[in-house]
Amino acid sequence: MNQETIWDIAHLAHVEILTPKLEESTRFFTDILGMTITETTRDSVFLRAYDDYEHHSLQLTAHKHAGMGHYAWRARSEAALQRRVAAIEKTGLGIGWKQDNIGHGPAYRYFSPDGHTAEIYFDTVKYKSGAADTSALKNTISKFPARGINVRRIDHLNLLSKDVRAFRDFQVGNLGGIVTESIVDNLEDMNPKAAWFMVNSKSYDLAITEDHLGLGGRFHHLTFACNSREEILIAADIFLENGIFIETGPHKHAIQQTFFLYVYEPGGNRIEVANSTARLILDPDYATIYWTIEERKKGQAWGLATIPSFHTHGTPMPEEL
């Protein structure tokens, strides 16, 4: 059954985050996270981490409230892109091609079943370092910044969804990949409450969690990867020293085993820095791991209780809608 899993998506490519405080949010990502700006337009700032290979992995856009503008997948090939677009079009959730994009070629835009805006593309603009930021090692996209937290690359996106089952089925059926882990109400009913999607060898590039408020299209968090857990611990000190609100962590997730640290950037969006140690899922017919609501009461791996705001804080916040 699973033998012909669709492997047409290469990875989560970038996320557009909305912020009511563009300047402060930009400083957070440059000075604190150590990212760099690659382009600026009237409303947006485009940024990348030092080993992100594309023009940007993050677009910050000025907006009246926090939230997510859109997220983007890069396909594995032009043919793979066409196959995915054909599949999405049949669902009726397609929006259409957007030809003119900063940092990449034509992208096909669509709605998630929850109403989030997404896109998929193959043709891209790869980052070329210059005199000031070329790494001493040819296989690093640009020089290690030695500034702030030094995040290495975009890692994954977590979205709230008012219908986890619908999102999950749409994602696997049309974008492909595997649901590596899932929370269900119980093992009899198997009603999904959260799902983690793998499209390459990282155990997830996208996760969705049930929106307890029943709102649509909300953003939970965006994650950047560091090279080690030690750097996540150092990051905690850097956030502390710079007055950034730490929501929870560092600690190890039971689900996916990610060593996590969650903060709110100045615009109000939740940002995670994380390291997954050496964990990869290389098994091509990996069986989804199910966790029940009951099991989740144990908290995170080493017993940390899941913080209540984790279930309520999503952007935009309800009062902003």
Q: Nearer to a copy of itself by C-beta: 10 or 37?
A: 10
Q: Nearer to a copy of itself by C-beta: 126 or 212?
A: 126
Q: Nearer to a copy of itself by C-beta: 74 or 220?
A: 74
For the bound state, the minimum distance from the C-beta of residue 214 to a copy of itself, rounded and expressed in Å, comes to 29
**Binding to a copy of itself, residues 77-96 (CB under 8 A):** 77-80
At 186 the three-state DSSP class reads: coil
**Binding to a copy of itself, residues 14-53 (CB under 8 A):** 32, 51, 53
- Spatial contact of 64 and 317, defined as CB atoms under 8 Å apart: no
Looking at 119, 163, 181, 272, which residue binds a copy of itself (CB under 8 A)? Answer: 181
Q: How many residues does the chain have?
A: 321
**Binding to a copy of itself, residues 135-154 (CB under 8 A):** 135-140, 143-144, 146-150, 152-153
226 binds a copy of itself per the rule CB under 8 A: yes
The dihedral formed by the CA atoms of 261, 34, 61 and 114, expressed in degrees to the nearest 10 = -30
- Spatial contact of 169 and 161, defined as CB atoms under 8 Å apart: no
Question: Sheet containing 246-252: which strands, arranged edge to edge?
Answer: 246-252, 259-264, 270-275, 219-225, 153-161, 206-210, 192-198, 178-184, 289-292
**CA separation for the pair 13, 220 (Å, rounded):** 17
Six-digit token pair at 193?
A: 């409450």
161-181 burial string, b = 16+ CB within 10 Å, else e?
Answer: bbbbeebbebbbebbbbbbbb
For the bound state, the minimum distance from the C-beta of residue 93 to a copy of itself, rounded and expressed in Å, comes to 24
Respond yes or no on whether the N-terminal peptide bond of residue 250 is cis (omega within 30° of 0).
yes
Binding mask 273-292 for a copy of itself (x = CB under 8 A): --xxxxxx-xxxxx--x-x-
319 binds a copy of itself per the rule CB under 8 A: no
Q: Nearer to a copy of itself by C-beta: 73 or 111?
A: 73
- The structure tokens 């940024």 sit at 47
Q: What are phi and psi of 19, to 5 degrees?
A: -145, 135
Looking at 237, 293, 318, 320, which residue binds a copy of itself (CB under 8 A)? Answer: 237
For the bound state, the minimum distance from the C-beta of residue 182 to a copy of itself, rounded and expressed in Å, comes to 11
257 binds a copy of itself per the rule CB under 8 A: yes
Binding mask 111-140 for a copy of itself (x = CB under 8 A): -----------x---x--------xxxxxx
294 binds a copy of itself per the rule CB under 8 A: no
**CA angle 18–21–23, rounded 5-degree value:** 110
7 binds a copy of itself per the rule CB under 8 A: yes
- The structure tokens 């560091």 sit at 226
**Binding to a copy of itself, residues 183-202 (CB under 8 A):** 200-202
Looking at 37, 166, 172, 246, which residue binds a copy of itself (CB under 8 A)? Answer: 246
Q: Nearer to a copy of itself by C-beta: 60 or 235?
A: 235
